[in-house]
Amino acid sequence: MPEGDTIFRTAQALHRHLAGRIVTRFESVYPALTRIDHDRPLAGRTVEGVTSRGKHILMTFSGDLVLHTHMRMNGSWHGYPPGAAWRLPARDMRVLVATAEFVAVGFNVPVAELLTARELARHEALRELGPDLLDESFDPGGAMARARTQPAATPVADVLLNQRVAAGIGNELKSEVLFVAGVYPFTPVSTLADADLTRILGVGRDLLRANTNVRGRLAPSRGRRTRDSLGRDGALWVYGRGGKPCRKCGTPIQAKKTGIDARITYWCPRCQPAPTAA
């Protein structure tokens, strides 16, 4: 699943190529979108801007229409010059927005809807999002308050994944954030002091922001990096490295599937020791 940094870069790239330009072509395999396009054609409208909110992308058009997309596990936006061959098959196209200079194609995008500004303001999933870690006005106090509403036994790893607490962190960054913070992933959130939660959120914000400063193509995206090393010894600390030696201490990295989605968490038992019972 694309995480907040990937979605942020995607929105930036779409904005750079589309903002201020007139739509010449709009297509979608979704009947709800084609029906709206039939009644209120997208062609001829100006793309006013593209922004991200957590893992959501909002493409705003003149005349009070917004295209809301969410990538879930497999969706992605690609960009091409007009007439260029696509890197994925046409059968995977779900939505397309073209101008005279650029073609944006959403492949395997499971959530795509056209909304008015009023509908957008009332959108349940967007209204329930926690503070966006990549927003310049990110409110750590608001995220902290939301974290404190979670059931006492909820592991901190699950709290980081909860987009209603703070938006942007996905499964890969969850493991990386907790390793950098030196926190055992299955620590109950209720046992963490406010200072520890603030520090964890700060690490998450720092890692997300560090991976948004590259002006790359829409796809394939630049690989995520959480380590300072620029060598060939790896970009990530623990994610995907179950059984391999910790890059800091050499202890074998552990991995565990949890939750109804069997999401894998990776951690170093020496660098992130489990809390001892009082």
48 is catalytic: no
Task: Give 191's DSSP letter.
Answer: G
Query: Choosing from 27, 31, 55, 82, which is the catalytic residue?
Result: 55
Q: Which residue in 150, 152, 213 sits closest to 188, CA to CA? A: 152
Rg (CA), the chain: 20
- 3 catalytic per annotation: yes
Contact between 218 and 13 (Cβ < 8 Å): yes
- If phi > 0 it is left, if psi is from -120 to 50 it is alpha, else beta; for residue 277 that is beta
Give the closest residue to 222 by CA, choosing from 7, 8, 6, 4.
6
Q: How far from chain centre, in Å, is Cα 264?
A: 17
Nearest to 112 by CA among 163, 76, 162: 76
Question: Hey, which bits of the chain come out as E strands?
Answer: 25-28, 47-53, 56-61, 65-70, 76-80, 93-98, 103-107, 111-115, 254-258, 263-267
* Catalytic member of 2, 131, 155, 185: 2
Catalytic residue annotation: 2-3, 55
